[in-house]
Structure 1
Amino acid sequence: MSRDYEGREIRQSVRIEGVLNGRSIASMQTPFMLTEADFMRLRGGPPITASISAGIVSAVVGFGIGLIPKLTPMLKGGEVQVSDPEGYTVLGGLIIATLIYLVGLAFPSDKGRVMKNIADHFVEEKPSIRILGEH
């Protein structure tokens, strides 16, 4: 039966009994040693710049909702009653929020460093197959 699979790529489990005669095959990989400090960094929330950016966007959206009554005459063919400073406030708020968010992405966070270390570990430490048991 084992000859049926010789030279073929197997993508699903195949049970073959009595081939290794008391031995086991194990897939092993060096574990990543996660410290408590690294764990706490991973549990942390989003970067402070993301929170500030979200707050600014929320304020701009709230301000924009307040402008809706000034936009409704436009639907009836009238003129928009939103002043230039009001439009600049919405546009400026969105630009500032975007810039703050992008600044946060430009600087690595503790969480990002830990995740990079974990990813690097698993790239460098490839799993290996070992035969265990009697010789």
Structure 2
Amino acid sequence: MSEEQNEYRGQEFNKPVYVNGNPETNPEITVARVPYLLERYDFDKISKGGGFWTNMANILLGGAIGLFVNMIAKLIGSKMDNSIVFENWEVYGFIIALLLMGLCYLIDYCVPNEKRRIKKKIKEHFEKS
């Protein structure tokens, strides 16, 4: 067995060294690069949903799904019972909802928003490091 060593100053180590006891009473973890200090405002913007246009597109997506289910149900019902009439406005409503939803997603993609600005800032921070 090797002799226990109490002093580790000025030495160069090429393999792990096991130290008996607590080498430090308040250890600190350090990172090789400067950490990104995330503010509460930035965290809220990143963790919460998108902006106005994203919310509008999601609402229209829900409407389009509802119109599609209704359209399919009426189509099946009209095949089973002649008194149920499948009308063109149902198809038009579904198509208009899809077009408006696509337009909202396009506007959201083109218009700058706070969430994308913060994500870009964080990405630039880590690219520099």
Query: TM-score with structure 1 length normalisation?
Result: 0.60
Aligned to 2:15: 17
The 3 A distance-change label for structure 1 pair 27 and 50 is closer
Q: Percent identity?
A: 22
Give the superposition deviation at 1:95.
Answer: 0.5
The 3 A distance-change label for structure 1 pair 54 and 36 is closer
Aligned to 2:22: none
Kindly report which structure 2 residues correspond to 1:62-81, keeping only aligned pairs within 5 A, or say none: 62-72=66-76
Aligned to 1:38: 42
Counterpart CA distance in 2 for 1:17 and 1:105 is 52
For residues 38-75 of structure 1, the C-alpha deviation after alignment (integer angstroms, 9 at most, x for no partner) is 22222322222222112112122222222234322787
Where does structure 1 lack aligned partners over 5 or more consecutive residues?
1-15, 19-25, 126-135
Q: Which runs of 4+ in 1 moved over 6 A?
A: 73-76
Aligned to 2:115: 111
Counterpart CA distance in 1 for 2:40 and 2:64 is 39
Q: Which structure's relative contact order is higher, taking Cα pairs within 8 Å and 6+ residues apart?
A: 1
Give the superposition deviation at 1:101.
Answer: 1.5
1:101 aligns with 2:99: no
What is the identity, as a one-letter code, of the residue corresponding to 1:35?
A: E
- Give the alignment partner of residue 52 of structure 2, picking from 48, 58, 82: 48
Where does structure 2 lack aligned partners over 5 or more consecutive residues?
1-13, 17-29
What is the identity, as a one-letter code, of the residue corresponding to 1:39?
A: F
Give the superposition deviation at 1:94.
Answer: 0.5
What is the identity, as a one-letter code, of the residue corresponding to 1:46?
A: G
Counterpart CA distance in 2 for 1:36 and 1:65 is 41
| Count of residues in correspondence between the two structures | 101
What is the identity, as a one-letter code, of the residue corresponding to 2:67?
A: F
Counterpart CA distance in 1 for 2:121 and 2:73 is 52
Query: TM-score with structure 2 length normalisation?
Result: 0.63
- Between Structure 1 and Structure 2, which shows a larger proportion of strand residues? 1
